[in-house]
Amino acid sequence: MHPHDKLFIPGPVEVSEKTWAAFSRPLIGHRGEDFKNLYRRIHPKLQTLFGTKQPVFLSTSSAWGVMEASIRNVVDRGVLCCMCGAFSDKWFDVAKRCGKKAEPLQVEWGKHIDQKDVDRKLASGKFDTVTLTHSETSTGLMNPLPEICCVRAKYPDVVLIVDTVSSFSAVKIEMDALGIDVMLTGAQKALALPPGFSLFSVSEKACARAGKVPNRGFYFDFLEFKSEQAQWMTPSTPSIGHIHALEFKLDEIFQEGLEARYARHARTNALVHDWVRRAGFDFFAEEGFRTKTLTCVKNNKGIDVLELARRLREKHHLVIDPGYGKIRGQTFRLSNMGDETEQTVSHLLACLDDVL
């Protein structure tokens, strides 16, 4: 691999040399047997990772594309957007830009969405859709997904969209068992693939809803994805390199074993947490609701975060994030997503100690 600065930002994350090698395999035609066989081979593994019996779709777009698609395909009467950070807040903005009736359920950044508040809102009968970000990457928070899914189950007509961009494959998420209707993830975070690609799955209920919602467009029409997937194809020419890389990554994931993979993320995350306490910092996200794939460190010591990031990059060629949006400088984020191990995360922490 060319000498480069290694990414410890929470997306895009470092892509391994082996993954790049798979990405640059020779192209195949997307309407031929080779492609159909490729999609057919990866599909059962994707279903296992999603915890679903539904088809899993491949989208050549970043995750925002599928977020917008979800809104356009399933929101009819109104959407409740659970908001607790930059990504979950964005769902509300996207819904309004798509011309949908949307209402925020906003909590302070760093706090979690309480299922009782979701219950109260849904009881109004105003909403046919809820958006929820499982792992809020901007604040390092993980929402109580099973609890919120239990509440949603009281409202069988409500479609639940869950953004799992920074938790998918690092934390167990059982789409069917939880009753998630649209589950989506991007390539460049927990999966450690190059950016520009997304995966999603849609329940039968959400597909039926899409069938009744007008103006779904073409590129992101769920029903186009569904009919094409039935023939192991995608509606338009996909990024074939991504699908080759995905096949390689899936092999790696299942060789490691899902439980071992979840446990590795829990251990590397705990290492970062130990360092935060030892270094005298605090956490931005409230206790009990911290995500497992990154840590949003609160700059309670008032250090110059941009300077810290600059020195880490210059001296050690490691890149961290100096905080997202309105909490830039007041926080910094350390990722343990993707291929990181105890060894690589310990190295990052030792280098942080050095520049601090």
Interacting residues toward ligand PLP by CB under 6 A = 11, 62-64, 87, 133, 137, 163, 165-166, 186, 189, 195
φ, ψ dihedrals at 298, nearest 5°: -85, 130
Quick one: 69 or 202, whose CB is closer to ligand PLP? 69
Nearer to ligand PLP, 185 or 268 (CB): 185
Distances from the Cα of 65 to the Cαs of 26, 69, 205, in angstroms?
27, 6, 21
Residues 6+ away with beta carbon under 8 Å from 347:
none
At its nearest, how many Å lie between ligand PLP and the CB of residue 292? 13
In the complex, least distance from residue 267 CB atom to ligand PLP, rounded to whole angstroms: 22
**Closest approach of Cβ 37 to ligand PLP, in Å?**
28
Taking the C-alpha atoms of residue 188 and residue 6, their distance in angstroms, rounded to an integer, is 14
Separation between Cα atoms, residue 19 and residue 339, nearest integer Å:
11
Residue 62 or residue 106: which is nearer to ligand PLP going by CB? 62
Q: Provide CB contacts within 8 A for 175, sequence distance 6+.
A: 50, 51, 52, 54, 183, 201, 203
Tokens of 221: 């029409």
Nearer to ligand PLP, 115 or 293 (CB): 293
For residue 208, the minimal CB distance to ligand PLP (Å) is 26
Q: How far is CA 27 from the centre of its chain?
A: 27
- Pick between residue 163 and residue 181 the one whose CB is nearest to ligand PLP: 163
In whole angstroms, the minimum distance from the beta carbon of 54 to ligand PLP comes to 21
Identify the residue whose tokens are 């809803």: 209
